Structure 1
Amino acid sequence: MGIISFQGARSKTKKQDETPIKVSDYMTKDLITFNPNQSVMEVIETLVKHKISGGPVVNERNELLGIISEGDCIKQLNESRYYNMPIDDARVEKFMVKNVETIDGNINIFDAANKFLETKRRRFPIVEDGKLVGQISQKDVMKAALKLNSQHWRDL
């Protein structure tokens, strides 16, 4: 006599979308941006006021030109002191990082986390059709992790 199983049929597991948790779902869209002609002192005031560590530099068409950070501003402060130069004349375009690495808004948030680890960057701008549409930061990735904490990580 054969073995009889009383276990019911198992439901098939749902196939997950390849990128169920996209960067675009967690990126910041309402960004504080800077323009290349702004003074570094204005940037410093904005960074301190809004408690941020940097931001994208865009032109009038919202095209990404670079990123300016606290470190870039401190470098300018140090140079102005060392060379006894007035800080009011310092413009963003001279101190911003121009070669900016971006990230695709459609990639999985965990792939973005790996990119943060590999590059040691704090933020990545997201550009679509040549225009800045958002920014993902390490903090945004951590927010995503908290939000997903109740779900099964392996299923993601």
Structure 2
Amino acid sequence: MLRSVDLSDYMSRNPVSVSATDNVFDAIELIVEHKVSGVCVVDDQSTLLGVLSELDCLRAILNASYNNTSDIGAVRDYMTEEVDSCKLHADVVEVADFMIKQGHRRLPVVDKGKLVGQITCRQLLTVVSQFTNVAA
């Protein structure tokens, strides 16, 4: 039953994103404002370039502190470029299995290389909850 669910029906369609050239402080403000654990990094055509997590931001802050500078740097200097993602109409069971095996709490969703959304563990739990309520 869950295999018939289309991932695109449950993903966030407007994930918080930044440019690689943005200042890390700007990304931190977005992370705090939107209460997310990281942001997607995209270019001007919405191509996914990487992600910047809370830990990446802390690394940038510590680096600036150790170097005694107020210039924290650009997102590109701290983002993770090797990023797993899933396709727009992926099978939710396969996505959940992949997230568990890889230890991901969220995955960018791409269509033809462009960022179109993000799926989180909480959204996958919503799918299960809705199907459990229907079956009961």
Relative to the length of structure 2, the TM-score reads 0.91
1:139 partner amino acid:
R
1:142 is aligned to: 125
Structure 2: segments with no counterpart, 5+ residues: none
Q: Which runs of structure 2 are paired with 1:60-79 in the superposition (5 Å)?
A: 60-79=44-63
Report the Cα offset of residue 111 of structure 1: 1.6
Give 1:92 deviation, angstroms.
Answer: 0.3
Query: Which sits farther off after the overlay, 142-151 or 92-101?
Result: 142-151
The one-character-per-residue Cα deviations of 1:34-76 (angstroms, maximum 9, x if unpaired) are 0011111111111111111111101111111110110100111
Residue aligning to 2:81: 98
Following superposition, the deviation at residue 89 of structure 1 comes to 4.3
Runs of 4+ in 1 over 6 A off after TM superposition: none
8 Å contact kept, 1:54–1:67: yes
Q: Which AA in structure 1 matches 2:50?
A: G
- The CA distance in 2 between the partners of 1:131 and 1:83, in whole Å, is 36
Secondary structure of 1:66's partner? strand
How big is each residue's C-alpha offset from its partner over 1:88-114, in whole Å with a ceiling of 9 and x where there is no partner? 341001100001111122222122111
What amino acid is aligned across from residue 111 of structure 1 in structure 2? E
The alignment's TM-score, normalised by the length of structure 1, stands at: 0.80
**Structure 1 or 2: larger strand share?**
2
Count of residue correspondences: 136
- 1:135 and 1:35 map into 2 onto residues whose CA distance is 17
8 Å Cα contact 1:19-1:106 kept in structure 2 = no
For 1:102 and 1:51, locate their aligned partners in 2 and report how far apart those are by CA, in whole Å.
21
Q: Name the CA distance, whole Å, in 2 between partners of 1:32 and 1:114.
A: 24
Segments of structure 1 that go 5 or more residues without pairing to the other structure are 1-15
Q: 2: distance between equivalents of 1:137 and 1:75?
A: 24
